Amino acid sequence: MSSSDGTPWVERYRPQTLDDVSHQTEVVATLKNAVETGRLPHLLLYGPPGSGKTSVALALCKDLWHPSQWRRRVLELNASDERGISVVREKIKQFASLSVGTADDTKKYPNPPFKVIILDEADTVTKDAQAALRRIIEAHSRITRFILVCNYVTRIIEPLASRCAKFRFMALPPATMKERVTAIAEAEGRKNNVIMEESQIDAVLAVSGGDMRRAVTSLQSVQALLAGQSEDNSKNNIIDEAAINELAGLPPDHVIDTLYESLLSNRFNTMQSAVQNVIADGYSVQTLLQKLLDKFIVTDDLDELGRAKLAIRIAEAEDRMNDGADEYLQLMTVCGLALKCLYTASKKMKQ
Amino acid sequence: MLWVDKYRPTDLVSLDYHDDISQRLESLAKNPASLPHLFFYGPSGAGKRTRISAFLGALFGPSAHKLKLNQREFTTPTGRTVEIHMISSDYHIELSPGDAGTSDRFVIQDVLKDIASSKNIRSSTEIKVVVLHQVDRLSKQAQAALRRTMEKYAVTCRLILCCDSPSKLIAPLRSRCLGIRVAAPCEDEIAKILKTVASKEEFGLPNSVAIKLARESDRNLRKALLMLEAAKVQAAGNGAIPENQYLPSADWEVYIRQLATDITKEQSPQTLMAAREKLYELLVNCIPASTILKSLTGELLNNLDDSVKLEVIEWASFYEHRIAMGSKDIFHLEAFVAKFMAIYKKYLNDLFG
């Protein structure tokens, strides 16, 4: 029986010190230097989800101060906290302006004489609030360092970005992730009596697309399923690659192939019923479009113009769905255009 | 009681289709401590809610089905109050936070903090579950707010999210959940279920009618069952439904079909005015604008030549996006009708010179 408590594995296996952080060598080297000298600029960490930005920010703080100092030294704010302009004016400003004493009970730590404010998911902070931050950052820079963490650096206003040292995080390559994920799988597997095969771990990595958090979350789901099954061997259905894809919400290849097949038919009704089927099967249109685009780019059935047109249309459809437009109509538009482009290309080729 | 509710399966074993999902849920329910957040998605009438409530039953035992409805008021920091209906049992709470409109993020924060901060003394399993319905209606802000909250309170509280279109949920949330895709049942499965219901209600249902109902329902089981019940009432008496039973469609569908015929027949300012009245009538009866546009497009496509279909569907998706962005639905619906008339007129002119 499992002895695990409820903490998600993502939290449990978060790197505790900068040394534990995998892959982001450049960032880690610079920051370690900062820890040793006790000098730290304002930081702007950006990169795709699951690449370790928040982990680095937290690990840095853990390296700098003794845990007892944290409450006084570190303020972590993220999108689930209220972060309008009023919070910037009151909460952040107040914390930033408090001066710090020096604690002497913590010899082991560098204990630099400043505080840190971590603004997680900083790209969701409103423009107004960001503008208000500009002055606060400068005015209190003697005693407070800001660490801004975000996915899209373009959503941070320029004056704010230029006040920080920027660090770009890269999506993790599968090889690096594999080591870590395998270690977690073994540690947790021992508790739950679950043995995962290498192929299963590979499948988990494949669906994660360089996102460590996603990999670990999928891993936890897969192990939860395996643990439930091992108690009851009578209906042991195997969690294979297809099942792992399914858990991650990715459509299997044959679905894409059938849809693509219907696009080659040059018959609107065939395409329409194929689209209706895909929608009724509940696949996420966003991932479908992604896979379709992958297919359009490599296929020989299209000419360059058609490829370009389709890429534009897919981008448009994605944008509209972000605004809350209907999935069915958007997918129909993309497929309708694909139908036309594929037909013209095939006619040209015959000539 | 409607048959839809009367014959709704209440435990995982009696679910009729998607055995693989049922098995997965069963193995998850055995080990509540390591349960991840779940995200159910799939078209409406596919059985998402049924599966969720069956899963809760498996997780907490039969008392999870003892539901009570209560109402709660939330006060936002700006001083506005919103009322939200919640369904709760001793172990879980269900709500659709989208009802709160722009204040949805405060509702989520409040509810989650409330639930997560108190521990359940009555249950042996320690976790509690919050079911959020229609998460696709949540604002982007509220979704962003959920990101961290989900992780922070994961120790005591698990979320089950449920919605129709997974694309409307931001990727960071999707990657935090175990996705469970509930596909719509295929026509054969629907027909089989209709037959079972008929035999339980003790009347005869010819195969041909069952298949026809299944086909008409667009793979929506709820719709199929409602249609079956309507057909039974119309057939009158307690005998079997005859082979040639007329299957009624919903009024609004008939109405839209008629509208589609009207605007393909004649393209003029007069028909546009007549169309406006029809559209208003539909809106007044609470048919969502995007549903109107979707079924109108569907009807129009049926009578069109392939060469114009692409253009029509392109504009349909364009105006549907506008509906989602804007706030005055009638403008966009009318614009679509006018656009369609222009396209079709041009096509006819080109055809006949």
Q: What is the 3-state secondary structure (H, E, C) of A189-254?
A: HHHHCCCCCHHHHHHHHHHHCCCHHHHHHHHHHHHHHHHHHHCCHHHCCCCCHHHHHHHCCCCCHH
Report CA dihedral (A187, B157, B107, B56) to the nearest 10 degrees.
120
Does residue A71 sit in helix, strand or coil?
Answer: helix
Contact list in A for residue B313 (CB cut-off 8 A) is 329, 332-333, 336
DSSP codes, B289-348: HHHHHHHHHHHHHHTS-HHHHHHHHHHHHHHHHHHHH-S-HHHHHHHHHHHHHHHHHHHH
**What domains lie within chain A, and their CATH numbers?**
9-168 (3.40.50.300), 174-247 (1.10.8), 253-350 (1.20.272.10)
* CB nearest to A229's CB, from B27, B35, B179: B27
Distance CA(B186)–CA(A257), nearest Å, equals 20
% of chain A with per-residue pLDDT over 90: 20
Neighbours of B81 (CB within 10 A): 9
Q: For residue A146, give the nearest of A154, A131, A136, A159 by alpha carbon.
A: A136
| Cα–Cα distances in angstroms (integers) from residue B116 to residues B91, B109, B120, B158, in the given order | 12, 10, 9, 9
Distance CA(A255)–CA(A246), nearest Å, equals 12
| Cβ atoms B164, B44 nearer than 8 A | yes
- Which phi and psi (to 5°) does residue A47 adopt? 160, 175
Q: Is the CB of B313 less than 8 angstroms away from the CB of A329? A: yes
Q: Is the CB of A80 less than 8 angstroms away from the CB of B41? A: no
Residues of chain B with pLDDT under 50: none
Residue type, A229: Q
- Which phi and psi (to 5°) does residue A102 adopt? -105, 130
Q: Is the CB of B23 less than 8 angstroms away from the CB of A246? A: no
- pLDDT at site A270: 92
Residue B228's H or E segment, with its range, is: helix B221-235
Per-residue pLDDT of chain A (351 residues; tens, 9 = 90+): 333 456 778 888 888 888 888 778 888 888 888 888 878 889 999 998 888 898 899 888 888 888 877 878 888 887 666 666 777 778 888 888 777 766 555 567 777 888 898 988 888 788 888 888 888 888 888 888 899 999 888 989 999 889 899 999 988 888 888 888 888 888 888 877 777 888 888 888 888 888 888 888 888 888 887 777 665 544 445 677 777 888 777 888 889 999 999 999 888 999 999 999 999 888 889 889 999 999 999 988 888 999 999 999 999 999 998 888 889 999 999 999 999 999 999 988 888
Distance CA(A109)–CA(A35), nearest Å, equals 9
Q: Is the CB of B317 less than 8 angstroms away from the CB of A5? A: no
Q: Is the CB of A326 less than 8 angstroms away from the CB of B294? A: yes
Chain segment A211-229, per-residue pLDDT in tens: 888 888 888 888 887 777 6
Contact list in B for residue A5 (CB cut-off 8 A) is 33, 155
> What b-and-e string marks burial along B90-126, b requiring 16 or more CB atoms within 10 Å of the CB?
ebbbbbbbbbbeebbbbbbbebbeebbeeeeeebeee
- pLDDT at site B167: 82
| Cβ atoms B273, B342 nearer than 8 A | no
Instruction: Return the sign of the alpha-carbon dihedral for residues B329, B331, B336, B338.
Output: positive
Distance CA(A305)–CA(A310), nearest Å, equals 9
With an 8 Å Cβ cutoff, is A268 touching chain B? yes
Neighbours of A203 (CB within 10 A): 22
Contact list in A for residue B20 (CB cut-off 8 A) is 237
Distance CA(B195)–CA(B187), nearest Å, equals 12
ipTM: 0.86
- pLDDT at site B156: 79
Could you say which residues from 205 to 244 on chain A have a Cβ atom under 8 Å away from some Cβ of chain B?
211, 213-214, 217, 220-221, 223-225, 227-229, 231-232, 235, 237
Take residue B304 and report the two structure tokens written for it: 């069109």
Could you say which residues from 224 to 283 on chain B have a Cβ atom under 8 Å away from some Cβ of chain A?
none
Distance CA(B211)–CA(A195), nearest Å, equals 46
DSSP codes, B39-98: EEE--TTSSHHHHHHHHHHHHH-GGGG--EEEEEEEE-TTS-EEEEEEEE-SSEEEE-GG
Contact list in B for residue A210 (CB cut-off 8 A) is none
Strand B92-95 vs strand B81-88: parallel, antiparallel, or unpaired? antiparallel
Take residue A336 and report the two structure tokens written for it: 């309708």
Chain segment B291-347, per-residue pLDDT in tens: 999 999 999 998 888 889 999 999 999 999 999 888 899 999 999 999 999 999 999
Could you say which residues from 271 to 330 on chain A have a Cβ atom under 8 Å away from some Cβ of chain B?
272, 276, 279-286, 317, 320-321, 323-330
Take residue B234 and report the two structure tokens written for it: 């119309």
Chain segment B281-293, per-residue pLDDT in tens: 999 998 899 999 9
Domain boundaries, chain B: 3-181, 187-234, 251-352
Take residue B204 and report the two structure tokens written for it: 């005869």
Q: Is the CB of A282 less than 8 angstroms away from the CB of B26? A: no
| Cβ atoms B82, B73 nearer than 8 A | yes
The domain at B251-352 falls in which architecture?
A: Up-down Bundle (1.20)
Start-to-end Cα distance in chain A: 68
CATH homologous superfamily for the domain B3-181 = P-loop containing nucleotide triphosphate hydrolases (3.40.50.300)
Chain segment B165-174, per-residue pLDDT in tens: 888 888 888 8
Over its C-alpha atoms, chain B yields an Rg (Å, rounded) of 24
Which residue of chain B comes nearest to A339, CA vs CA?
B310
With an 8 Å Cβ cutoff, is A182 touching chain B? no
Q: Is the CB of B166 less than 8 angstroms away from the CB of A281? A: no
| Cβ atoms B97, B130 nearer than 8 A | no
